[in-house]
Amino acid sequence: QVHLMESGGDSVQPGGSLRLSCAVSGDTSGRLCLGWFRQVPGKEREGVASIDEHGSTDYAPAVNVRFTISQDKAKNALYLQMNSLKPEDTAMYYCARVLSFPCALAPISRTPLEFYTWGQGTQVTVSS
């Protein structure tokens, strides 16, 4: 069984940077698909970025270039470096393990929720 816990959310000004972390525990050997998602109250979950066990990544157009997803396998950690933050980035951010192949946002979006393991979420607020 895999457990995840996010941290690093904060309130920042537009144009600022933030680094989110996700501690991943449990058996993560072999094929692994991890992702960051965000959600605003009243709206659907939105995939932000994903990364597989090989380090291949995928990004939502809205965050491409500005955000970078990475992992440290030795530390069992997942990261989301967020630069040039905009007010529209404000959301609750979740990390998750997804039983999806390929590990890209499009197929992930079609994966039933029963194949997700979620962290508790961390709030990111971008405002002036």
Reported residue count of the chain is 128
The pLDDT of residue 8 is above 90: yes
Q: Which of 25-29, 56-60, 106-110, 124-128 has the lowest mean pLDDT?
A: 25-29
- Rounded Cα gap, residues 39 and 100, in angstroms: 20
The pLDDT-based confidence of 95 (bands split at 50, 70, 90) is: very high
Phi-psi region of 121 (alpha: psi -120 to 50; beta: other; left: phi over 0): left
pLDDT attached to residue 64 = 93
- Rounded Cα gap, residues 80 and 11, in angstroms: 16
Strand order in the sheet with 67-72: 3-7, 18-25, 77-82, 67-72
Radius of gyration of the chain (CA): 14
The pLDDT tens digits for 11-67 are 999 999 999 999 999 877 778 999 999 999 999 999 999 999 999 999 999 999 999
| CA atoms within 13 A of residue 8's CA, in its CB half-sphere | 19
